[in-house]
Amino acid sequence: MAQDTAGETEQVATTSVETTQAAVQETSAGFHQAIKVKFIEGGAGFMSTIAIALILGLAFCLERIIYLSLADVNPDTFLNKVGDALDRGDVEAAKDVARNTRGPVASIVYQGLLRLDQGPDAVERSIVSYGGVQSGLLERNLSWITLFIAIAPSLGFLGTVVGMVQAFDDIQRAGDMSPTIVAGGMKVALITTVGGLIVAIILQIIYNYILSKMEGILNKMEDASITFLDQVIKYNVKYKNL
């Protein structure tokens, strides 16, 4: 009796799992099918341009995220190595550390080390100038992302206007203000607006994440520049009596 009960329980559990999996697959298939239907109803022309804006926008976002992730390194360990080399008076070792470290902080420090023999003022000017260059590299391609954020809903609104014009043409040809004709035309017209707004929202969220990450890197660059200048002044006092 106990074995029969256990077998029935196991069978019920298996059936429940299979039912759940089938429901999930059906829901997924239904969702994809609904997306396809709405895409076709919105018009292949405008919906395709909105989809292209999404793809291109995501491509630029991905490129920025990868670039910023590679540039976002911990500057403390790097600056400690540079500081130890300068304390020993080994400028070439400090250059090697900066040369073998990726990221904007290392690039700025390396440019400063190249002008170390010219004094702290020259190093500071180099840091400011090259810091602007690195900031520009961090902000590269952001204008393209903002373009696609702006153009996606604009394409949607344009599709809506064109769809409304077509709906009124249908009404004119039918010679009747039928609710079916009006509702059908407006539904198709508004689908493009929904698509454009969804694309803009997706890209805007990713864009804000990119801005947040970039601001964090810029703050690290500023803090690292101050720390490096202190190291330069200490080096000059110790080895050049400035």
Q: What is the pLDDT along the chain (242 residues), one digit of tens a residue?
A: 444 554 555 554 455 445 545 444 444 446 456 555 555 555 566 778 888 999 999 999 999 999 999 888 888 888 999 988 888 888 888 889 998 888 899 999 999 988 888 888 888 888 888 888 888 889 888 999 999 999 988 888 887 777 777 767 767 776 666 666 666 666 666 778 888 899 999 999 999 999 999 999 999 999 999 999 988 888 887 776 54
CA atoms within 13 A on the CB side of 57: 26
Helix, strand, coil share (%) of the chain residues, nearest 5: 90, 0, 10
Helix H segments across 42-141?
44-71, 75-87, 91-99, 104-114, 120-138
Residues 238 and 137 in one domain: yes
Residues 52 and 91 in one domain: yes
Residues 77 and 166 in one domain: yes
Residues 150 and 178 in one domain: yes
Helix (H) or strand (E) holding 72: none
Cα(217)–Cα(109) distance, integer angstroms: 15
What is residue 238's predicted lDDT score, i.e. its pLDDT? 72
Domain of residue 18 covers: 1-41
- Asked if residues 108 and 130 have their Cβ atoms less than 8 Å apart, the reply is yes
The structural domain count of the chain equals 2
Q: Among 242, 236, 241, which residue's Cα sits nearest to residue 86?
A: 236
Q: Phi-psi bin for 87: left (phi > 0), alpha (psi -120 to 50), beta?
A: alpha
Residues 190 and 211 in one domain: yes
What is residue 3's predicted lDDT score, i.e. its pLDDT? 45
Any residues with CB less than 8 A from the CB of 193 and at least 6 apart, and which?
153, 156, 157, 159, 160
Residues 7 and 117 in one domain: no
Residues 29 and 114 in one domain: no
What is residue 165's predicted lDDT score, i.e. its pLDDT? 73
pTM of this structure: 0.74
What is residue 28's predicted lDDT score, i.e. its pLDDT? 45
Six-digit token pair at 71?
Answer: 């540039």
CA atoms within 13 A on the CB side of 13: 6
Tell me the backbone φ, ψ of residue 199, rounded to 5 degrees. Answer: -60, -45
Residues 23 and 137 in one domain: no
Residues 145 and 217 in one domain: yes
Cα(138)–Cα(217) distance, integer angstroms: 9
Residues 87 and 192 in one domain: yes
Residue identified by tokens 């702290």 is 120
Residues 26 and 135 in one domain: no
Compute CA distances 30 → 22, 25, 40, 116, 199, whole Å. 12, 8, 15, 66, 21
Residue identified by tokens 């670039």 is 67
Residues 23 and 101 in one domain: no
Q: Among 206, 185, 184, 204, which residue's Cα sits nearest to residue 196?
A: 204
